[in-house]
């Protein structure tokens, strides 16, 4: 579960692990996408993805624009990450994103 206070910066640093196998050529040619949706399927945000080191298979996921989380609805939401590799679509497990009220404003 990912916990976030509404209005805080949403940024995750991630790494693709090849189950102990080196990924030939890294992830430089991959397309990586991720969205956060409410339990009912309403889009909360389409995350911005940036490959930070293709050979090391690392990337970041972050909110679509600075400050956008201020408008995210409170509650439990869902996200996954989709990789497109040589026309094959591979999705991660679904993760819960809990957005809570920010006390200090």
Residues paired with residue 72 on neighbouring β-strands, in sequence order: none
- pLDDT for 36: 98
Token look-up 């200090």 returns 104
- pLDDT for 57: 93
- Domains of the chain by residue range: 2-100
Which pairing describes strands 31-38 and 75-85: parallel, antiparallel, or unpaired? antiparallel
* Cβ neighbours of 94 (radius 10 Å): 10
How far apart, in whole angstroms, are the C-alpha atoms of residue 52 and residue 65?
18
- Residue 61's SS3 state is strand
- Neighbouring residues of 44: CB distance < 8 A, sequence distance ≥ 6: 35, 36, 37, 38, 72, 73, 77
- Local confidence pLDDT in tens for the 105 residues of the chain: 999 999 999 999 999 987 777 788 899 999 999 999 999 999 999 999 999 999 999 999 999 999 999 999 999 999 999 999 999 999 999 999 999 999 987
Q: Does 2.60.40.10 match the CATH number of domain 2-100? A: yes
């Amino acid at each position: 579960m990912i916990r976030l206070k509404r209005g805080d910066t949403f940024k995750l640093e991630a790494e693709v692990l090849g189950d102990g196998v080196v990924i030939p050529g890294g992830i430089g040619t991959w397309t990586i996408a991720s969205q956060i949706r409410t339990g009912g399927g309403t889009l909360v945000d389409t995350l911005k993805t940036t490959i930070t080191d293709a050979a090391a298979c690392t990337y970041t996921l972050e909110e679509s624009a600075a400050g956008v989380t201020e408008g995210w609805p409170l509650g439990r939401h869902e996200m996954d990450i989709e990789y497109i590799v040589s026309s094959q679509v591979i999705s991660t497990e679904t993760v819960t994103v809990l957005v809570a009220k920010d006390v200090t404003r």
